[in-house]
Amino acid sequence: MPIPFLIGAGALLVGGLGVAGGLAAKETMDEAKKLGEKGDRLIATAKSRCEREQQATSAAIEKLGSTKVHILSNNMSAFLDSFRKLKNVDFKHSVGLDELRDFMPQSDQLRKLEQASITALDLSKGYGGGLAGGGLTALGAYGAVGALGTASTGTAIGTLGGAAATNATLAWLGGGSLATGGLGIAGGTAVLGGLVAAPALLVGAYFLNNKADEAMSKAKTHYAKAEEFDAKCSKSCSLLAAIRERGEQITNLLFRMDGDFTFGIRDMKGIIGRRGTDWRSFAREEQEHIAAVAMTAKTLKLIMDTPLCREDGTLDPNSDRVFSLPGVRG
């Protein structure tokens, strides 16, 4: 075989291998790009899902907080105004005597409840800056009477805002609205379930000037991070959903009981208007009615003081005990 022919054939073979190698590299690059884009979509979807649950949970906790403020500043204030006028109160013939033993008109519990009611009324009117964002989040997540019953309006706001800001989950749920420095969504992604910030997206331009094998390695690493982020987002969403659902349940419970409280207070005022303020002048059924209203007030206080979240920001498993308190109906 002539040498020129051999050389030509060899060149053709090498050229063919080069073309084949180029095609293989292009296929690898295309696959890498698709995998990178798939990872980007997974990250974006997971982040969006987590943000939606965060917003829904934040709204639910704030609604619980505002419900507590509403009850304390309205019906609880009206109840205390009438109940603390009573003299010679004796619940010995009333159902729930043991529960009401420390809930007499001049008891320490009533004084704290009254202070909480006054502070809540001031906050609802906007005094001291009112309650927004972090304050309502903290009131919803933690005990309202305990927080509001031991401080003035301004101090209460500072305490609530500080509590929310020092708890990573609450700071995230409160978003950037916290006067004490909310973490916002970026900081919040470091909270529940050990979430870290979302991996950076792999922009398409990356694949234009890189070797195919290197691009595929990068895309695989990126997709693995995207899957990890998605799994952590799912865990966080589950934890947030548990908090949101329990918060909504407690809000609904408070709403129902506050409706009954309204009618009970109305009738109690009618009894006092007719009989005066001396307990001994009331008929047995009137005493029992007022005792029942007092029991509702105490149960409402206990519900409002039951933490929704633990110190680490997760759902407090004891929060379901509010549904078995005296006077709570299904």
CB-based burial label for 113 (10 Å; 0-12, 13-18, 19+): buried
309 three-state secondary structure: strand
- Whether 301 maps to a domain, the answer reads yes
What is residue 97's predicted lDDT score, i.e. its pLDDT? 63
- Whether 281 maps to a domain, the answer reads yes
233 neighbors 195 (Cβ within 8 angstroms): yes
pLDDT band at 149, cuts 50/70/90? low
23 phi/psi in degrees, rounded to 5: -65, -40
| Token pair recorded at residue 110 | 């009533």
- Whether 1 maps to a domain, the answer reads no
Query: Which secondary structure element, helix H or strand E, spans residue 65, and what is its range?
Result: helix 3-73
- pLDDT tens for residues 36-62? 899 999 999 998 888 888 889 888 988
- Whether 256 maps to a domain, the answer reads yes
- Whether 120 maps to a domain, the answer reads yes
What is residue 185's predicted lDDT score, i.e. its pLDDT? 36
- Whether 24 maps to a domain, the answer reads no
pLDDT for residue 7 is more than 60: no
- Whether 139 maps to a domain, the answer reads yes
Count how many domains the chain has: 1
- Whether 58 maps to a domain, the answer reads yes
- pLDDT tens for residues 252-268? 999 999 999 999 999 99
What's the mean pLDDT in 306-321? 84
278 three-state secondary structure: strand
248-261: buried (b, 16+ CB within 10 Å) or exposed (e) per residue? bbbbebbeebbebb
What is d(CA 177, CA 175) in angstroms, rounded to the nearest whole number? 5
**C-alpha closest to that of 192 among 143, 226, 241, 225:** 241
- pTM to 2 decimals? 0.77
pLDDT band at 74, cuts 50/70/90? very high
Domain assignment of residue 99, given as a range: 49-196+214-324
